[in-house]
Amino acid sequence: MKVHGACHCGQITYEAEVDPAKVGLCNCTDCQMLTGSAFRVSVPAPAATYRLLRGQPKVYVKTADSGVRRRHSFCPNCGTPVAATADSDHPPFYSLRVGCLRERADLPPQRRIWCKSALAWAQDVSGVPGIDGQ
């Protein structure tokens, strides 16, 4: 499936090919901190299909407890997280942030990881009263 991504301000735009069956939701504490939310939803895109169309993301390298280094890219203007890759100049794939993709409604998570770090209140919010706008 071809996807089209952009940061909030539009300074960064890109496109790629993804497999909707590989969309994942991560509950780890790093993803909670890096998103400022309860979890992160991502989908891998093979590097050969990823094409940066506009802008140059800023990169932050995070070293995991395991010692593995990951490059997290985000817009230097609005701060929107865009993707993560291996700490390599030629990563095999880009982990795209589903919230940045125009096709996000068609990319529901197919699996969840790091469930031991999941925030209990974020697992089912269907009972929280909601309104259609602000």
Nearest alpha carbon to residue 3 among 113, 110, 95: 95
What average pLDDT score do residues 64-72 get?
90
CA atoms of 132 and 134, how far apart (whole Å): 7
Q: What is the pLDDT of residue 65?
A: 79
The string of pLDDT tens digits covering residues 14-46 is 999 999 999 999 999 999 999 999 999 999 999
CATH number of 2-117: 2.170.150.70
Which residue in 86, 18, 84 sits closest to 57, CA to CA? 84
pTM flag (> 0.75): yes
Q: What is the pLDDT of residues 71-109, one digit of tens each?
A: 999 999 999 999 999 999 999 999 999 999 999 999 999
> What are the φ/ψ torsions at residue 106 (nearest 5 degrees)?
-100, 10
